[in-house]
Structure 1
Amino acid sequence: MSTQSSRSGIQPPTAFYGGKSKSHLPPNQITCTPPLPKPYNQPKAPAPPAPPPLPTYYSSTSKSPFKPSSPSALRHANPYSSTTSTSFPRAVTPTLDSSVDESLVSHHDFSISSASSSSPLILAGEGHHHYNQETDLSSSAESLESLTIGREVIEEERDKLLEELEIERALHAKTKEEHTMALVEVSSELRDLAIKQVMEAVAQHSTDLDERERAIQEKYDKRLKEQGKTSQERQRELSKQLNSLRDAEKALNQRLHEEKFVTMKHMKQSIKLTVQLERSNHDNALLRERLSMCEADLESREEQFYDPMYS
């Protein structure tokens, strides 16, 4: 048994040893391990899921949640937590904001006793025995009583934590009021100082802008003077380029006129050639017709020449 179970006054269930502790068995039976009943003679179940998160409390004066910082105080009187012995049947762990569901506890405990009462327990030298139903009932009652005790301890811890929380909230409200008064006293001085700093920054920024504007104006005036000197030279160069472009345009127009004349001449020649080609095609067609007629006449004459009727 663990230390917490011994503090809570919880004793291990003795139903599996015929109503007696294993240390009270005869010496010839202590070394013999009795077979487990049917529900416990199965492969190990997977590890239980993670415990639920700690409950949240709300005070009557404030709606800010409060959670206990450490679950050790809540587990102190809970005989079914992960730190207690595993010889107890696993029951529903009570929470701070809900009462114990006795139907689940009784169903869990009595399901074990009912399932195990139908299985024989074999002990060396004593033969077959059945579970004592009264011992199972007393074990279930002890489990329910331990759950009730754990719930009472948890409720006491909750009340104590809520009282401490109310005290801390009162101190916090008092400190907040003191800080507010101090800030009201200092706010006027800080406001004047902030206004002064802002005005100085604005004046300095205006001076910087004026200096930058003056420098930019001087720079662009200088560039305009330099561009004015070079603009006349650039204009002369552009006029020369324009004259050369006009001369080139005249030459291109003259050449275009000549090429147009040559193109018209070629077009007239192509028209003449096209007419001649059409005439030659027509003549060729007539010649083909005459040729086909001559071939037909020649074939008919050959047939008459070789036909004995005409011989």
Structure 2
Amino acid sequence: MSAIEDIRQSLKSELERLDTLISRTLDSSNTLMNQVIGNYLEHKGKQLRPMLVMLTARLFGGVNDDALTAAASVEILHNASLIHDDVVDDSGRRHGHATINAVWDNHVAVLVGDFFVSNALKLATETEDLRVIRAIADLGKLLSLGEMDQIYNARYHELNEEAYFNVISHKTASLFVTCVSMGAYCSGVDDWRLDAIREFAELFGRCFQIKDDIFDYFDSQVIGKPTGNDLREGKVTLPLLYALSNGASPERDEMLSLLREDRVLSDSDIRRLIAFTHENGGVEYAYATMERMRAEAVAILDKFNSPLTSQFISLLDFVIAREK
């Protein structure tokens, strides 16, 4: 049994209650809405985010009803962001399954995403904890800002690591930081432990996104999305950023010129950029960055002096080692 399956097994009853709560929360009086959502929920993901809420609550006291409600709230909002992202990116598949916008249309997908958002916010209010409510509201804002940051960087060619990490802090790490914050709020925790677990979650989220970005430089048959998909959308991620900073001219200048042209990159352009990235150590640098962040994250967890932190490390190792 894999490490993540071990964790799922240890949270089996909580995750079953989570699934029931999410289904009940998203039930409506509209037949079409129920049909679309019912089909969507048949293909739930790995549930890393609600698991982080629960593991944090367990670390600091226990998984109570409020922690379960908070976990459902953040999972619903996360899925709302995925549904809306698929519309924005005109994506036809996600994790091997047809997207809502592909099966129905953008109109239906946007409305379903909006329905998810409103229910995520409503569910958070059931905790009657202003910190949880504020956290889920702030998360919605950060996710939107992260997407806008990414659009800005692509449009105005902000090709540096600072801009890159600003984007992934907003669009990815913010979700994981919110998860551990909610788990901590619902179980009761002092400020230093809250700050420490949030620092861990920031590093966790950065590793998650870096690994996602690495996939763009490898065979699409393995990962389930087209090779170079990010590059086609104008997204320059950590592996290529490093190669551009360390590659030799004149090839480096040619790659920069390609990226700054006001046109969609061709398949040939994509192949050249990917080859340039590999030849100049971009992928190796991204892996090394994840390993450095992993070491920082483990050092933070060591401060808690608890055997329960081993599951956080296992989850982080899963994120770094996953192949899709």
Relative to the length of structure 1, the TM-score reads 0.19
Which structure features the higher share of helix residues? 2
Work out which of the two has the higher radius of gyration on C-alpha atoms and give 1 or 2.
1
